[in-house]
Structures are given as structure tokens and as C-alpha cells.
């Protein structure tokens, strides 16, 4: 059983402790009235309540059986899941359950409003997040954003069926994903194109406040070399002197380089490791997993 990562509890605990200290200092130094003494436990309870509620909900989820229909989707469509051992699959399924329980996923309805999304599509989106988080149980999904599933590609005006946008993430807004491209991304599991991995990688990137190719949860000491490698590969991809393992779109900017590199890391790990061991090692360290080893063998 895997419960909420330590980060989810640590941040509110620290905040609660600081608030308590301030109130206690006020009570002691100001010869405060009775209500001030009551303020301490109330403040602590208010700050901790959301995290405790979340943890309790996750504990219940951990004891809820994983739906057979969802497992069937993972077995049939998610190559990554198929390579995991028994313990890995249980942990992956738990991450899928948590993601689907805590995230809001819907489709735009004809004539306005929202429409529900089929479970198999919801499971594929959750599976993408579970792949990213698999080696990092300490990492909480950084921002709660709605995920809106469009039937096909769309254009800048969000006109469905026009344009060639398969996915998009707004700085403060929702994640948009084309269902057709999502399904295709999992059907072709080794071509380096997976719109859900790509857009959710952008969400990790936005977790630090801006999309600059530097994802949330990166160790402080890793940041400087990370920025250097990203800047260097950006130049390499743009130069086009030789075909880099990352597709040309990675040359757009740092954020796209990271998102495309994440797609390659999960979909073409052996090739990425052979052709660019430094970039692979950097992603391996960050995601705390080795997809090249996972996909090795029959
Ligand atoms: Zn992108």
C-alpha cells in the first residue's frame, strides 16, 4: 500500500507549526485573552485538515479493489504497465486510482457545458501520470488543473477538427488533449509521440512557476547542470547538422525540449540512452526510474 507522499504532509505540518509558534509567542508576550489559547489548536486543525482528509481518502482508495475493466485497459493498451512486476503494477494501479479520484476530467459538450469522458480514455490519461510519477512517490501532482478531452485536434480558437494542435497546457489553466491522438500515442508506444506524456510533462514544468524546461521536484544541486544540458541540446536540435534522437519540435524552446525528451525517455529509452547518455541519465535521475532496463529483453 502506498499513501500520500511525504511532501503532502510536510508542507502543511511546517505551516501549522509556524502559525502555532506565532500564536504561542503572542499569547505568552502579550498576556493574551483566553480566546488566543484556543486559537492555537484551531489554526493547526484548519491548516492540517485538507491534507488529513486527502490522506484518509487515499487510505480508503488503497483498500478499494482496482476495477477489472481499468486493469484490462492497462494490460491491453499500456506497454509500460505490461513490463512492470507484480509490486510495480499494484503501485501503478494505486497511482491511477488516486489520479482519477483527485483530478477533474471532462469533454466539451455539443452546444456548451461539459460531457463525461469514457473510462478507458480517463485510464489512459491517468496511466500517463502514473508513468511519470512511478519512481517518485514523494512527488505530488503539482497543480490541480481540469483536463479537457477534445475528440480530435483543434486550432488556436479551440475549433475542433481544425488546426493541428493535439494538446495544450495553459500556465494557470486546464490541460487540453485530443482523444484521437491520446489513443494513437499508446497504440504506437515506441515512436516517441505521446500527447498525454508530453502535456503532463509541461504540467511538471509549470510546477516551478514557469515553463522553462526545469521541472518541479528537481533537486537543488541538479538544477544548474540541468539548465546547461537543456540549453546545449536546444542548440544541437536547432542546428540539425545530424538528426538528434529528439524530434525537431524539441528545438522550439526549453519547455518543448523537456516535454519531447520525456516522450523519448518513456517511448524510445534504449535509443535515447545510446544516442544521448547524458540526457538519459539526467531524466533517469529525476524520474528515479530506468525505462531502458524495463523494456530490455523479450
Ligand atoms: Zn509542448
194 domain-assigned: yes
Position 11 scores a pLDDT of: 61
Examine residue 119 and state whether it is found in any structural domain, yes or no. Answer: yes
Tell me, yes or no, whether 199 and 289 share the same domain. Answer: yes
User: How are beta strands 105-108 and 147-150 bridged, if at all?
Assistant: parallel
Expressed in angstroms and rounded, the spacing between residue 37 Cα and the centre of ligand 1 is: 51
Identify whether residues 109 and 239 lie together within a single domain: yes
In this structure, the answer to whether residues 175 and 251 fall within a common structural domain is yes
Q: Is residue 105 located within the same domain as residue 193?
A: yes
Average pLDDT of adjacent 10-residue blocks, the chain of 298 residues: 46 71 76 73 78 87 95 98 96 95 92 92 98 93 86 91 91 92 96 97 91 91 94 91 84 96 97 96 97 88
95 plus 122 within the same structural domain: yes
Query: What pLDDT shows up at residue 4?
Result: 42
**Predicted pLDDT of residue 18:** 78
Domain CATH for 289: 3.40.390.10
C-alpha to C-alpha distance for 254 and 11, rounded to whole angstroms: 29
Instruction: Copy the grid coordinates of residue 215.
Output: 521541472
According to DSSP, the residues that pair with 154 across neighbouring strands are 160, 165
Burial class (CB in 10 A: 0-12, 13-18, 19+), 277: exposed
The total of structural domains in the chain comes to 2
pTM: 0.87
The span from the CA of 239 to the CA of 249, in Å, is: 12
Residue 6: per-residue pLDDT: 45
Ligand 1 center from residue 255 Cα (angstroms): 7
Cα Rg of the chain, angstroms: 22
Give 42 Cα–ligand 1 centroid separation in angstroms.
Answer: 44
pLDDT of residue 170: 85
Other CB atoms within a 10 A radius of the CB of residue 66 amount to 16
Amino acid at each position: 500500500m502506498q499513501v500520500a507522499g511525504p511532501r503532502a504532509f510536510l508542507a502543511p505540518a511546517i505551516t501549522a507549526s509556524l502559525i502555532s509558534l506565532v500564536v504561542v509567542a503572542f499569547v505568552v508576550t502579550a498576556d493574551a485573552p483566553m480566546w488566543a489559547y484556543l486559537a492555537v489548536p484551531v489554526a493547526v486543525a484548519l491548516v492540517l485538515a485538507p491534507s488529513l482528509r486527502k490522506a484518509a481518502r487515499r487510505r480508503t482508495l488503497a483498500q478499494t479493489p482496482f476495477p477489472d475493466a481499468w486493469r484490462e485497459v492497462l494490460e491491453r493498451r499500456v506497454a509500460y504497465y505490461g513490463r512492470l512486476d507484480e509490486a510495480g503494477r499494484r503501485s501503478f494501479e494505486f497511482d491511477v486510482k488516486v489520479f482519477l479520484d483527485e483530478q477533474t476530467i471532462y469533454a466539451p459538450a455539443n452546444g456548451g457545458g461539459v460531457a463525461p469522458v469514457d473510462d478507458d480514455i480517463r485510464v489512459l490519461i491517468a496511466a500517463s501520470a502514473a508513468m511519470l510519477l512511478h519512481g517518485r512517490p514523494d512527488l505530488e501532482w503539482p497543480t490541480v488543473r481540469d483536463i479537457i478531452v477534445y475528440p480530435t485536434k483543434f486550432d488556436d480558437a479551440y475549433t475542433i477538427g481544425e488546426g493541428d494542435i493535439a494538446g495544450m497546457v495553459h500556465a494557470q489553466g486546464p490541460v487540453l488533449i485530443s482523444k484521437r491522438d491520446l489513443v494513437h500515442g499508446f497504440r504506437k508506444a515506441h515512436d516517441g509521440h505521446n500527447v498525454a506524456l508530453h502535456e503532463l510533462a509541461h504540467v511538471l514544468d509549470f510546477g516551478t512557476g514557469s515553463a522553462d524546461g526545469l521541472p518541479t521536484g528537481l533537486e537543488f544541486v541538479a538544477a544548474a547542470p540541468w539548465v546547461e544540458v537543456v540549453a546545449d541540446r536546444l542548440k544541437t536540435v536547432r542546428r540539425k547538422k545530424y538528426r538528434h534522437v529528439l524530434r525537431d519540435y524539441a528545438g522550439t524552446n526549453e519547455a518543448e525540449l523537456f516535454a519531447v525528451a520525456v516522450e523519448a525517455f518513456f517511448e524510445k529509452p534504449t535509443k535515447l540512452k545510446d544516442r544521448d547518455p547524458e540526457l538519459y541519465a539526467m531524466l533517469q535521475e529525476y524520474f528515479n526510474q530506468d525505462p531502458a532496463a524495463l523494456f530490455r529483453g523479450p
